[in-house]
Structure 1
Amino acid sequence: MSRNRIKRTSRFVLCAFVLSLSAVRATPEVTLDDLRKLEIICFVPSHLPEGFRLQRVDITFDELHEEFDDIKHQLPLYSIVYSNDPQRGATFSIESAREGIGDRNIMPDEENAEETEIKTPLGPMYLIYRPKGKEGRKIEILTNWVEDENMKAEKAKDPQGHPILGRFHGFSAAGITLAEFQKIVDSLHPVNSNPETAPAAAGKTSALKIHPKVFNMIDCWISDSESPVVTEINLDAVEKNGNQFNTDDVKPDGEWTRSPTPESKEGFMRYRVLESKGNHYKVEYQENGGGTLTTASIIEFEIEKRNIRRDGKPVTIRVLRVSSYNQK
């Protein structure tokens, strides 16, 4: 494959977390549990070649520059290294960048390198590797930068804006085959999610069946300031009240579940699942009234059963109970 088929990104490097594969060592101070505490998406594999173990996790925070004075938010970056031998073994590593990324598809020994494109649940990945040939273990494998869903959403909202939660992710390996590399990247998922139920990572439609209007009830009006407005909703009533919650216009849209707004067919209400574990969910909800403004919020909730009295009789209902709300 010729080099002009490889996607390039030419913006100036402001912040990338670059990890040296020659210095693989354990860092007990930082673990995967620390990544789970971050708001950003951090990818981890659920499959690794035999003998591979976690060797190192690092977290840094990007410094704010003058042009970011309006940002009152931590800007974390992360990196991870797995290896079957901390000193001389094969490795698989992940690094992240927030803005102004350069080209990862560069190798010093270009004459002995080869390029290809592979399909993954995160989208197409463009690889460069050496030595040439599809078979055998590779001295080095590098992917292009991959945008996560937060980055895509922030760029869609403001192409000239500075990303807050969005990140680019780069994947590298040494001493493994292309087939092994494919299996690893196929298993990547956000660290906070179950790999079997991670639609944001796998590009699958969410299994959560809730009308987007439910999240509209949680958000306040644009002209108001206090959210969440509603913190508990009877999902049994939502399912039965077809006039108020018309499901005919609710459609899957990639990883989003979407419906038009009552005010305008040009507008939309939509949500996507960021995390799910048991009865706990974390979603991003977006709303657009038909103009240029799209509002967004991150909502966490549990789906539970509770007992109430209706018309004097005890009944059990299924409710959505909000546990966390953050406006983006």
Structure 2
Amino acid sequence: MTVLVTGAAGFIGFSTCLRQLVSGKQVVGIDNLNRYYDTALKDARLAQLAAFPNFTFRKLDIARDDILAAFTASERRSITEVLHFAAQAGVRHSVMMPFEFVDANVRGQVAILEFARRLPALRHIIYASSSSVYGRNTALPFRETDRVDQPGSFYAVSKRSAELTAECYQHLHQLPLTGLRFFTVYGPWGRPDMAYYLFAKAIMEGRPVTLYEGTALARDFTFIDDAVDAICAVTDLPPSGQARILNIGSNVPEPVSRLISLLENFLGRTADIRLTPRPTADVECTWASLEQIQQLIDWHPTTSLEIGLERFSRWFLNHSYG
């Protein structure tokens, strides 16, 4: 029994691989190691995974390479779960480079599902969606049953397209599919393009911290360990019948200003905050309803923002300034 993880050098993919490896599972990781952010961080994550004898890595671009040809018939027969986290990230980046999102997030989703439907022992496909699909919705908290036809960014379009693709493949090929709408996942080994990481870097380097105007600016921050707990628990419960979509969040929208205050405390430095208008691609507040996932599994996020940021800050200082 083998777990295939795409985006294995990425934040969520790496963290999920690590948990699966520690539990003793055979894991094959795929990643194209693109240069959207510094590949040194991706290499460092992969080095952590390579220390496990039950880990195998293949450098593949799921949108361009023939995934089927990269695996022998014997290897394909051993894959029981596909955890698909490979994607082009970045809400604002999608405004400037939309074709990258078509390739990675739309074409890549089709490629993985085409590969997965040819796996004879397949039990479950988990794929990463995003809270961004809720777009310009104003009713809070966001529920999986909400309308998601008013995207606020092309990134959201690409992620909603991936959800619709999954629904179609379930209908056509009866694939056991679960999409996870992640809400601002953060923590050690996180993505350096995300706000909390950029804030920490600016604070340490004495540069201005750009904060969007508005007292209601808040995010449903989800600590990585809590997110991985949910991923692993859901993986063991494949759906029957219809494709499933679940929110993965903390159910606690936190003011972004509080995040900055906590980072100041843990990093031991004061932020030079500069206010700027919020871009149209960014929503004011995110908040995940967890009713559906908690009906399925006994999962409750346990890491407060204070504890999570303390753990991130300790890692960040050791990794970047140690």
TM range (shorter): under 0.3
More helix by share: 2
TM-score w.r.t. the length of structure 2 is 0.26
More strand by share: 1
TM-score w.r.t. the length of structure 1 is 0.25
Higher relative contact order (CA 8 A, sep 6+): 2
